[in-house]
Amino acid sequence: MTFAAVDVIRAKRDGGRLSDEQIAWVLDAYTRGVVAEEQMAALAMAIFLRGMDVHETAIWTGAMIDSGERLALAVDRPTVDKHSTGGVGDKITLPLAPLVAACGAAVPQLSGRGLGHTGGTLDKLESIPGWRAALSTEEITRQLNEVGAVVCAATEGLAPADRKLYALRDVTSTVESIPLIASSIMSKKIAEGSAGLVLDVKTGTGAFMKTADQARELARTMVGIGSAHGVATTALLTEMSTPLGRAVGNAVEVAEAVEVLRGGGPADVVALTLALAREMLTLAGLSDVDPARVLASGGAYETWCRMISAQGGDPDAALPKPRHVHLVAAPRDGVLSRLDAYAVGVAAWRLGAGRARKEDPVQHAAGILLHAKPGDTVSAGEPLLELHTDTPDAVPAALAALGDAFEIDGPAPAHPLILDSIRT
């Protein structure tokens, strides 16, 4: 069935509900270039302003999945995946994927790159000498069977409609639409072929969703989409007003993830890794396996080494070191009561850890080490933040971004790490 693009735009502009046929046609036609960029931009803005209901969003997601291939994973373990909506210091995928694999599941973690203040998993892993992100479907399947976990870039054939639409939304101020965000995430995750999916939906200053209500709505929308497409889906709402862990950047986050895999690491990173692992193992039918015990046994670290080696990396190689380090000292004695995740993320980005455009390079050694977290007692003149960069000229801009990022006043307010859980 063929429609006129202007009629589809008008229907949504006027607050109407798009039919299944209209949605299927417009996304297929846009992928093939029949619907022009300016027409899809107009439709995206109409959706941004008018929204889509649960059924429309599920159909929209299905049409984006159908625009490309679905991975056919011939794997002899139960498959389960995880997705985070992005944050500052969010290196959880790095210890989580090998941990869940060491517990008996297969984890096909197709990840992305950082943009703006949020880091990208692939950028972090590429700080490991020799590691490569691009794998074929055959390589992904073989690694899942032999190792149990793979973290790599999405194949070109997955949800091409989403790839086009995502780039368009970025330049037309239509990013902040829950139906479009949810369908973008879920189309790629469902196309991966996992039977189960756990979502880490972050909220707070360093998250895309600034309020818990926004995050909860996004989580419910995505869980509903997963259910509608036969993928068992669970979401955790997690706090992202303070950076996660004590490392923000690329190589520094890999080093912290390895600490966790070796039985150490910051308490918040360990706690969230284990919480997500338990959710994933439940969906995989492996709830009787204790991920804390597996982590303590060293099994997850062994799987990490095999996973990195399988993708050409050297897990024993030294990670890149910055050419320049700048210390930010505590201005006075007291208790660190606030450390703003967004400001720290922007500062790390300006040091070279992130990018403004998708084609920009990143510095593997760039980032920030946090010598104190909220609740810690600090002394005047002692290091509070450690800025890493290969370009010293970037330090003033990073310091400007930090601005009033921290307060030293008194006891830090308690912020639970996990705020809620949403299940089908």
CATH number, domain 80-157+165-316: 3.40.1030.10
Which one of the listed residues 82, 91, 113, 188 is annotated catalytic? 188
Q: What is the pLDDT of residue 348?
A: 96
Tell me whether residue 188 is one of the annotated catalytic residues: yes
Tell me whether residue 187 is one of the annotated catalytic residues: no
User: Is the per-residue pLDDT at 358 higher than 70?
Assistant: no
What confidence tens digit (pLDDT) does each residue in 310-336 have? 999 999 999 999 999 999 999 999 999
Q: What is the pLDDT of residue 101?
A: 98
CATH number, domain 324-408: 3.90.1170.30
Q: What is the pLDDT of residue 82?
A: 96
Confidence band (pLDDT; 50, 70, 90) for 100? very high
What confidence tens digit (pLDDT) does each residue in 175-229 have? 889 999 999 999 999 998 899 999 999 999 999 899 999 999 999 999 999 999 9
Which one of the listed residues 162, 200, 268, 340 is annotated catalytic? 162
Taking all residues of the chain, what is their mean pLDDT, rounded to a whole number?
94
What confidence tens digit (pLDDT) does each residue in 261-313 have? 999 999 999 999 999 999 999 999 999 999 999 999 999 999 999 999 999 99
pTM of the predicted model as reported, rounded to 2 decimal places = 0.93
User: Is the per-residue pLDDT at 360 higher than 80?
Assistant: no
Tell me whether residue 169 is one of the annotated catalytic residues: yes
Tell me whether residue 170 is one of the annotated catalytic residues: no
Within this chain, domains 80-157+165-316 and 324-408 share the same CATH topology: no
> What is the average pLDDT across 153-173?
87
Confidence band (pLDDT; 50, 70, 90) for 171? confident
What confidence tens digit (pLDDT) does each residue in 103-140 have? 999 999 988 877 667 888 999 999 999 999 999 999 99
Confidence band (pLDDT; 50, 70, 90) for 70? confident
Q: What is the pLDDT of residue 90?
A: 96
User: Is the per-residue pLDDT at 163 higher than 90?
Assistant: no
User: Is the per-residue pLDDT at 27 higher than 80?
Assistant: yes
Which one of the listed residues 12, 83, 202, 216 is annotated catalytic? 83
Q: What is the pLDDT of residue 175?
A: 83
Kindly report the three-state secondary structure assignment for every residue of the chain.
CCCCHHHHHHHHHCCCCCCHHHHHHHHHHHHCCCCCHHHHHHHHHHHHHHCCCHHHHHHHHHHHHHCCCCCCCCCCCCEEEEEECCCCCCCCHHHHHHHHHHCCCEEEEEECCCECCECCHHHHHCCCCCCCCCCCHHHHHHHHHHCCEEEEECCCCCCHHHHHHHHHHHHCCCCCCHHHHHHHHHHHHHHCCCCEEEEEEEECCCCCECCHHHHHHHHHHHHHHHHHCCCEEEEEEEECCCCCCCEEECHHHHHHHHHHHCCCCCHHHHHHHHHHHHHHHHHCCCCCCCHHHHHHHCHHHHHHHHHHHHCCCCCCCCCCCCCEEEEEECCCCEEEEEECHHHHHHHHHHHHHCCCCCCCCCCCCCEEEECCCCCCEECCCCEEEEEEECCHHHHHHHHHHHCCCEEECCCCCCCCCEEEEEEC
Tell me whether residue 184 is one of the annotated catalytic residues: yes
CATH number, domain 5-51: 1.20.970.10
User: Is the per-residue pLDDT at 154 higher than 80?
Assistant: yes
Where do the structural domains in the chain lie, given as residue ranges? 5-51, 80-157+165-316, 324-408
